Amino acid sequence: MTSNSPSEKRLEELREQAWKDGVVPGKGVDVAGGPIPRKPGYYGQPVVKPPVWTWEIPLYFFFGGMAGMSAVIATGSVLFHHVDLARAAMWLAVIGGAVLSPILLIMDLGRPHLFLNMLRVFKHRSAMSMGAWILSAFGACVVPGLIALELHAHQVFPGALDQLLRAAAGIFIFASAIFGTLLATYTGVLIGATAIPAWFLHRTLLPIHFGTAGLGSAAAVLELLGHRTPALNFLGFYAAAVETALLIWLSVDKHGTADRAIHEHGSGWLIRIGEILNGPLALVLRFFSFGPMAALSFLIGSLVSRIGWIAVGKVSGSDPESVFAAERY
Partner 1 sequence: MIGEGIQSTNQRKHSYVQDRVEVGFFTDPSVCIGCKACEVACKEWNHVPDDGFTWSGNSYDNTGHLGASTWRHVMFLEQDRQKGNQVTGPMSLDDDPFRWVFLSDVCKHCEEAGCLEACPTGSIVRTEVGSVLVQNDVCNGCGYCVVSCPFGVIDRRPEPLHDAGGAFKCTFCYDRQKSGLVPACAKVCPTESIVFGRLDDLRARGAERVQQLKQSGYNDAQLYDPTETSVRGIHAFFLILGEPEAYGLPPKPQIPTIYLKSAWTSAFATAIASIIATLAAFALFS
Q: Of 112, 103, 101, 84, which is closest to residue 225 (Cα–Cα)?
A: 84
**H helices present in the chain, as ranges:** 6-21, 56-79, 83-93, 101-108, 127-153, 159-192, 197-200, 205-224, 230-252, 260-263, 265-276, 282-287, 291-317, 320-326
Q: Of 322, 267, 329, which is closest to residue 47 (Cα–Cα)?
A: 322
How many beta carbons lie within 10 A of that of residue 37, not counting itself? 13
Minimum distance of partner 1 from residue 9's CB (angstroms)? 25
115-to-21, 84, 109, 150, 185 alpha-carbon distances in Å = 56, 35, 7, 31, 22
> Which residue's CB is nearer to partner 1, number 1 or number 52?
52
How many beta carbons lie within 10 A of that of residue 158, not counting itself? 8
Minimum distance of partner 1 from residue 307's CB (angstroms)? 17
> Which residue's CB is nearer to partner 1, number 37 or number 266?
37
> Which residue's CB is nearer to partner 1, number 20 or number 27?
20
- What's the rounded Cα separation, in Å, for the pair 134 and 130? 6
Minimum distance of partner 1 from residue 124's CB (angstroms)? 9
Minimum distance of partner 1 from residue 202's CB (angstroms)? 10
Minimum distance of partner 1 from residue 272's CB (angstroms)? 22
Minimum distance of partner 1 from residue 164's CB (angstroms)? 25
DSSP 7: H
Assess contact for 183 and 309: CB atoms under 8 A.
no
> Which residue's CB is nearer to partner 1, number 164 or number 244?
244
Residue 123, helix vs strand vs coil: coil
> Which residue's CB is nearer to partner 1, number 117 or number 163?
117
> Which residue's CB is nearer to partner 1, number 215 or number 285?
215
Minimum distance of partner 1 from residue 178's CB (angstroms)? 8
> Which residue's CB is nearer to partner 1, number 151 or number 203?
203
Q: Of 83, 310, 80, 95, which is closest to residue 218 (Cα–Cα)?
A: 95
Q: Dump the DSSP string for 11-33.
A: HHHHHHHHHHHS---BTTB--TT
Assess contact for 262 and 197: CB atoms under 8 A.
no
> Which residue's CB is nearer to partner 1, number 109 or number 167?
109
